[in-house]
Amino acid sequence: MTEPPAVELLPVRRVRLTETPPPALSPRERSAMDRAWREAVLANPALFDGPVAALTGLAVQEPLGLVLSWTRATYRSRALRRVPGATAWLPSLFVSVAQPADDGRLLVGRTAPWTAAPGRWQLPGGIVEPPGPGEELDLAALRRHAARELAEETGADTVPDALALRLATRGRNGSVGVLFLAPPCPAPLLRERYADLAAAERAQGHDPEFDRITLIRSPDELSVLDGPRVDYLEPVVRHFARARA
């Protein structure tokens, strides 16, 4: 059996985003997409068909530049990738944050059962949403989105300008993540902020988006995590472990 291609890490210091029209869906693909979405919602009623920015292209510009083409879509469109033979599905565009402790370990979280990927270990982050009227999807918007995801998932209140653009990841299914590096934080404070966030969420009758967090020093430590891992996690952890060496 042929191994799937490895996740690609792209060092990047500049990102430009360009909006493109959505691809046309055939009636067969639209029907199959709607059917796959209904099945997904039956399996996980917490899913909602909100707006997303889907990836339509990627181009590298030297030195260390990246041009990302995107289009407006909804979560429903992601169900099309589960349909055999479908060709109009689009990869995801997302942000993630490497949040180091002061000893260099990285914070990773396990997604709660109600999320789109229950029980999966990943960095803080999420799917990019398209801008509203009069707004622009640019690097500053990605940075704000990353800071918001970090706060909502871990309780770490970091201003967007403190997040340093570090990498882009391209996964086996073509999805691209823009990864930012947060300032180091003492490990006890990271755990305290997460505990406060989780307690506040549960006090309001909600489960936090991460039902557990831990700190990882090296790829070898990933093997003890109970559950699946997002495809970029091991190469990103390896990248930062090498950077510390």
Token pair 């985003």 is found at: 17
pLDDT number for residue 201: 95
DSSP character for 227? S
CATH number of the domain at 14, please.
Answer: 3.90.79.10
Asked if residue 218 belongs to a domain, the reply is yes
* Residue 163 included in any domain: yes
* pLDDT tens-digit map of 189-235: 999 999 999 999 999 999 999 999 999 999 999 999 999 999 999 99
Residue 190 lies inside a defined structural domain of this protein = yes
pLDDT-based confidence at residue 4 (cuts at 50, 70, 90): very low
- Confidence check: pLDDT of 2 > 50: no
Note the pTM of the prediction, 2 decimals. 0.93
Whether 140 maps to a domain, the answer reads: yes
In a domain, 69, yes or no: yes
| Per-residue confidence (pLDDT) for residue 5, from 0 to 100 | 52
pLDDT tens digits, one per residue of 138-175: 999 999 999 999 999 999 999 999 999 999 999 988 99
pLDDT above 50: residue 77: yes
Of residues 4 and 234, the one with the higher pLDDT is 234
From 14-18, 52-56, 88-92, 107-111, the region with the lowest mean pLDDT: 88-92
Residues 6+ apart with CB under 8 A from 228: 117, 119, 120, 121
SS (H, E, C) 181-203: ECCCECHHHHHHHHHHHHHHHHH
- Residue 2 belongs to some domain of the structure: no
* Dihedral over alpha carbons 68, 143, 166, 210 (to 10 degrees): -110
Whether 103 shows a pLDDT value over 60: the answer reads yes
- Would you state the torsion angle of the CA atoms of residues 199, 203, 207, 212, taken in this order, to the nearest 10 degrees? 10
| pLDDT tens digits, 13-70 | 999 999 999 888 888 888 989 999 999 899 888 888 999 999 999 999 989 999 999 9
pLDDT of residue 172: 85
Is 3 part of any domain? Answer: no
Of the candidates 154, 132, 213, 145, the residue with the CA atom closest to the CA atom of residue 179: 145
Residue 12 lies in a domain: yes
Both tokens assigned to 84: 């055999």
Structural domains counted in the chain: 1
Alpha-carbon distance 7 to 232, whole Å? 6
Which residues constitute the domain of residue 135?
A: 8-244
For residue 213, what are the β-bridge partners? Answer: 109
Please state which of the ranges 4-8, 46-50, 81-85 shows the lowest mean pLDDT.
Answer: 4-8
